[in-house]
A and B are shown apart, each in its own frame.
Chain A
C-alpha cells in the first residue's frame, strides 16, 4: 500500500464494521452501536458519518438511500456497503496483520 493510502484506526474500524453489518444494513447509528458492542468504545455519530463519507470518497464503500422507518422519526437512512476496492483493502489489511502475527507467534510463550 503506497503512502497516502493508509487507513486511520477509526477508519479501519468503521470499514470492518460496515463489512460485518453487510446483511443487517450499515448506517450511522448501527455502526456506532456495533462498535460500542464489540470494543466498548463510544464514538460520536458525527465522527462516524465523517468517516463513512471519507471512505466513500476513497471508493472503499458505496451507499444508497434506504427506506424510512418509524423508529427514525420518519427519516430515511443511508445504507453503506463495502465496495470491491474495500474488500480488497480489508483482505490486504488482514494479510499485513497476519505477517506480523506469524513472527510474533504465541504471545503466552514469549
Chain B
C-alpha cells in the first residue's frame, strides 16, 4: 500500500520543505483512496501524475542566492553589448564557429547516413548475405555471387534458416531492354527475385499482395519512378511489360528503394521467370540473402556449410580444390564488405569524423584565443564587479554564459549555412541528405549536446582565467594583459595551423594521385570511345552494323566485345599439364579489338576475320594473352605464339601477346589476361572509336546505323573514359570533400590569426610608436609582426610533415599504382599557408605601422 518512493523523493528534492508535508500527505490520502477503489496500477499512475503537477513555480525551492538570478539579465545585456561593440572580433568568433559547426554537422549527418544503411529492414539483424570463396592458384578469391543451389540446400539442412531469397541482376552482363507500347529503354536496375523477397526485406508495396506478387513466372513489380516512366498517370497494375521480348505482368507497385539501401533496383521480376530448372551448384551469378530464425555466428554457419559442400563433392581442400561460402550480416554489407562494389568504407567514416572534429576544434580555439586576448579589455569590468561583491563563481558563470550566447548565435547561423551547403554536399558525396533529418530525435539531441559542449569547451578557460583576476591589481592599473596566456595562445595557433596544413597537404597528395590516374597511360585509348550495349540482333549482324557505321567519316573503328577494358571481370581457368589449372581473367573480343582500343602487340598479330569464322563454324578458338599471362605460363612473348591453350573447354592457339594494359581500376595489379574469339552469345558491347571533333555527329550516325539494323531496341551509350572514372569515384569524392574542408579549415584558422594579430598590434601600439620615433620604417614594423607569427606556422609545418606523410602513405598504398608523395605537396601546402598568413598578418600590422606615432604616444 506504499505509494511510489521515487515520486516522494522528487517532491522532497524539488519542492520547498515547508510545503512538502502537506503535499505528500494529501497525495498519500488520495493514493489510499484510489488504491481501494481503482486498484494499484491506476493509483500509482495517479500518484505520479499528481506529484508531477505539484512541481510548479509556486512550490519549487527558491535559490538562496537571489542576487545571482537578478544579475542574469545584466549578464545577458552585457554579453550582447560586447558582441555589438566589438563587431570585427564578434564576426570572427561567430563566423568561425558557425562555419566549423556547420561543417561538423554536415559530416555528422553524412556519417549518420552511412550508418543507416539497411537499418530500415525490420529483420535486418537476422539477415545475412552469402558470398563465395574459391581457390585461385593458392590465393583465395571472393565474390558476392553464389550458386542457385545454395539457398535450397541450406533450407533443407539447417533448421536455423527461416527463409531466404536469391537475386539475379541480368545487367551485370548488360542492360535489359524493357518496353511498353512505344516506350522502350535499356534498364540497368533490373532484378529477378524469389517470391519471399518482400517477406524478408521491408520494402513497401503500395499495390499488390506481399505474399503473392512474385509467386508466378513473368510477374513483375515496379518502383513508383519506373511506373511513372513507363505508364505516367495511367493504371499500371495487370498491364504487360515486354522484357527482352518476353511478356511480364505487373503485379505490384512499390515505393522507390531508399538511397540508404545496399540493394538497389528499379524492376523486380519473379526469379522463376528465368530459372525453372532444378537448382545447381555449377553456375554462380546469383546473390543469396538468408533470414535466420535467430542471431547466428556467421563463422559457425560457414564451417557448417563447408562440411555439406565437402559431402556433395563441391569442395575438396585436401586436393587443392577449395570452395566455400562466407556470410556477412546485412548490416555490415555497406561499410565492412570488401566484396561488394560501390559500398562505403568504415575507414572513410573515421576520416570524415576526425576532420569534423578537427575543424570544430579550430573554431573553438579561435573563440578561446580571442576571448583570452580580449580579457584585458574586460579586466576593469571584472574588477569592478568583484569590488562590488561578485563572487569568483559569478564572474565564471557570466563568462561561460557569454560563450553560450555566442554559440547560440553561431548555431543558428550554422543551420542557415547548412541549408545552403546540403545540396552541394549531396552532389559531391552521392548520399542524399535532407534538412528534415535535423528533426530526428537522435540528431536533435546530438545538436543540443553539441551546443552545450562547444559552449563549455570554448568558454571554460577564459572564464576560469577571468574569474581569477585580482580586483585590487586591476583597479590599481597593474594588470597589463601582455604576456598573460601568451604561451597557451601561441600553442593553440600552432595546433590550428598544424590541422590546416595537414589537411592541405593531404588534399594536394590526393589531387596528385587523381591526376596520375587520369594521365596514366593505361595501355589502351580511353578518349573518344563510345561504349554501347548491343542487342542480339546487332550482334548477329555485326559485320553489317560495322559496315553501315564505318561509312561515316567520324567513326574510326568498331569492335564488339564481351566486357570493356576499364573493368574486365570474367573469371576463367587455363588447363596446365598434369591435371592442374590456373585462374585467369578473360574476355571475348573480335578482329578489330586491338585496333579500336589502340593496344600494342609485343608479339604476333591481332585476331583476323578468318579466326572469328573458324570459331563460329568449327569451334576452333584463337587467343591473345597479355604479358603477365605469358610470364605466368613461362613463355617469352615470342615463344608464346602458336602455343596450344585450353581454357574452360576452348582449345586453340595463341596468336598474339599484347602489352599489359590496365583492365581494372588502378587499385589492382595487372593480372594474367586472355582475350579470345567466341560465338555470338559471349558479346555484349560495341566499342566505337570516334572523331573527337564531331562527337554529336558521330553519335547521330551510330544511332541511325543502329536503327537500320534493329528498329525495336533503344539505343544508349556511355563514354569509355567515364566508365574508367566511375571506377575511381570514391577517390574523386574524397578529393572534393577534402579540398572543400581544408579550405574551410585554413579560412577559420586565418580568421583566428587575424584576430590575434590585430590584438597584438593594439597592445603593442606604444612599442611601435616608440620604434617609429626612433627611426623604424613601415617595413621594419611589418617584419617584426610577421616574425612573431610566421615562426608559429613553421613550427606547425614541422609537425604536419610526418603526420600527413604517414596518413597519405597509408591512403596511397590502397592503389597498386600510385605516385610518390614527394616534396611538392609539402612545399605547396607551406607556401599556400604562408601566403595566407603573411597577407593576414601584414594587413593588420600595416594598419598599426602606418599610424602616426603622435597618436599612439600622445597619452604618455
Interface residues of A (CB under 8 A from B): 27-29, 32-33, 44-47, 49-50, 53, 65, 68, 71-73, 75-78
Contacts and interface: CB of A to CB of B under 8 A. Distances in A.
A77 to B, nearest CB: 5
A44 to B, nearest CB: 6
Given A50-B58, A53-B58, A45 B25 contact: no
Given A29-B30, A32-B30, A53-B58, A76 B25 contact: yes
Interface string B54-67: 10101100000000
Contacts, number: 63
B26 A73 contact: no
Contacts of A33: 33
B19 to A, nearest CB: 8
Interface in B25-67: 25-30, 32-33, 50, 53-54, 56, 58-59
A106 to B, nearest CB: 40
A76 B25 CA distance: 7
Contacts of B22: 27-28, 49, 65, 75-78
8 contacts: A28-B25, A29-B26, A32-B30, A45-B23, A49-B54, A71-B28, A72-B28, A77-B22
Interface in B536-553: none
Contacts of A65: 21-22
B21 A75 contact: yes
Contact of A46 (B32, B33, B53): B53
B32 A45 contact: no
Interface SS, A side? helix
Given A28-B26, A77-B21, 14 more contacts: A27-B26, A28-B22, A33-B33, A44-B50, A45-B27, A46-B54, A47-B53, A65-B21, A72-B28, A73-B3, A73-B24, A73-B28, A75-B28, A76-B21
Nearest to A75: B25
A29 B50 CA distance: 12
A46 B25 contact: no
B29 A46 contact: no
Nearest to A69: B25
A45 B26 contact: yes
A71 B50 contact: no
A53 B53 CA distance: 15
Nearest to B25: A75
Nearest to A79: B22
Nearest to B19: A49
Contacts of B21: 65, 75-77
Contacts of A76: 21-22, 25
A73 B25 contact: yes
Nearest to B50: A45
Contacts of A29: 25-26, 29-30
Contacts of B33: 33
A45 B56 CA distance: 13
B329 to A, nearest CB: 51
**Those 3 A-B pairs whose CB atoms lie nearest each other, nearest first:** A75-B25, A28-B26, A72-B25
Given A27-B22, A77-B22, A46 B28 contact: no
A10 B734 CA distance: 67
Contacts of B24: 73, 75
B739 to A, nearest CB: 60
B48 to A, nearest CB: 13
B29 A71 contact: yes
Contacts of A73: 3, 24-25, 28
Contacts of B23: 28, 45-46, 49
A17 B361 CA distance: 64
A75 B32 CA distance: 14
A50 B50 CA distance: 13
A74 B80 CA distance: 52
Nearest to B2: A73
A12 to B, nearest CB: 20
Most buried by A among B26, B28, B53: B26
A31 B23 CA distance: 13
Contacts of B3: 73
A72 B50 contact: no
Contacts of A78: 22
Contacts of B26: 27-29, 32, 45, 49, 72, 77
Contacts of B59: 49
Contacts of A68: 25
B14 to A, nearest CB: 13
